[in-house]
Amino acid sequence: NQRSGVLVLSESAGAHEELGAHTVTINPFDVEITARALHRALQMSPVEREQRSQAIKQIVATNDVARWIRHQLEDIRSVTPPLRPLSGPSDAQPTGFTDAAKDKRRGNAPAWLRRALGVAEQPR
């Protein structure tokens, strides 16, 4: 943006959360509000356009994709309990699967498990 254009941005755009304070916001489903917003953008003073443009450039320069991914991973780690190694044989299954496999022998396994294990449907 070499000439300090005005960013007109939908309020429902993902970028609006970060950039909205420095944009002219529109609701794409409201023609009248959009027309007023476009008029405002076209009439904006060069000084205000430059200030908004510089603010947006700063936000975009500091909030790149790598930073976004890093924050996403940090958030995931903050709510995920640490993984601990399994103890026991390497073919150990999670408890729910083991319990369902035991049920298979009794004919009570869910259909998805019987299919996965290649077990025929039990007559009722």
Q: Evaluate whether residue 13 is within a structural domain.
A: yes
How does pLDDT run across 12-68, given as a tens digit for each residue?
Answer: 998 999 999 999 999 999 999 999 999 999 999 999 999 999 999 999 998 888 888
Is residue 85 one of the residues assigned to a domain?
no
In total, how many domains does the chain have?
1
Q: Show the 3-state SS of 52-78.
A: HHHHHHHHHHHCCHHHHHHHHHHHHHH
Identify the residue whose tokens are 């959360």: 17
Quote the pLDDT of residue 47: 95
* Residue 105 is assigned to a structural domain of this protein: no
Q: 32, 65 in Cβ contact below 8 A?
A: no
Whether 19 maps to a domain, the answer reads: yes
CA 112 – CA 76 distance, rounded (Å): 30
pLDDT tens by residue, 75-87: 988 888 777 766 6
